[in-house]
Amino acid sequence: MGAIDWLDDGTLDTQRRWQGRTPNESFLRWASVRSEADKAGLKGLFGHFGSKPGEPDALVARRALMLFMKADKAPDAVVLIRDSDADPRRRLGLEQARDDGRWPFQVVIGVAEPKRECWVLTGFEARAHEEKALDELEQRLSFHPVRDAHRLTASEHGAKNDAKRALKELMSEDPERERECLRDTPLASLQAQGSKVGLSKFLEEVRQRLVPVVSGTSPAP
């Protein structure tokens, strides 16, 4: 919001609306894209991206963008958010899909390294009653779970360095506490601390591609 001087917490929700394919959905699930594309008649979307084969997520992202392009009212922007699961090719795949066509909307990419929980941890600042849990977690991991959130790479749920487990130990599955970490932490802090978990790149994408849409200064995509 710092990039748009007239926008604040009280007006943000009047300037945006999150939705999936229909107004009744707040987002489109990645797992639903293929079936939704088949229902919409978007079949046979294979092949290369330019002269290169598709990287992971390139095809599903292209299908998703085509679904939004066929909507009754195309959105002003589509945000593609994905966990990398420690696979750097996923970002390449999303970029391939974005570069594949001239979409009638801005396409913003966010890839959490390796999980979206690491973004939340980046904005975590322990309160008095949370300091003990943070100390215990740091001792168990042998690294700081906030400064080194990118090291929470376990793919097995509940493993020692599982990002979801770390988040649960610190915030006791309190969704409002998780939202506070990203909503209330200054953007400059998130930008500085989020370079290793993909958050800084996402914030830069928002600044370059989404802020102009909201401010009304966006050029044609």
Closest CA to 79 of 37, 18, 36, 120: 18
Instruction: Look at residue 1 in the predicted model and tell me its pLDDT.
Output: 47
Instruction: Look at residue 181 in the predicted model and tell me its pLDDT.
Output: 97
Instruction: Look at residue 146 in the predicted model and tell me its pLDDT.
Output: 97
Instruction: Look at residue 12 in the predicted model and tell me its pLDDT.
Output: 63
SS3 of the chain: helix, strand, coil, percent, to 5: 50, 5, 45
Closest CA to 101 of 69, 71, 77: 69
Instruction: Look at residue 102 in the predicted model and tell me its pLDDT.
Output: 87
Residue 27 is encoded by which pair of tokens? 């987002």
Instruction: Look at residue 11 in the predicted model and tell me its pLDDT.
Output: 61
Decide: pTM greater than 0.75.
yes
Instruction: Look at residue 104 in the predicted model and tell me its pLDDT.
Output: 93
Pairwise CA distance, residues 126 & 140, whole Å: 17
Contacts of 150 (CB under 8 A, 6+ apart): 113, 114, 118, 196, 197
Closest CA to 197 of 123, 136, 139, 135: 123
pLDDT along the chain (221 residues), means of 10: 56 76 90 93 80 93 94 91 95 96 94 97 96 98 97 94 97 95 94 96 95 78 68
C-beta separation of 26 from 19 below 8 A? yes
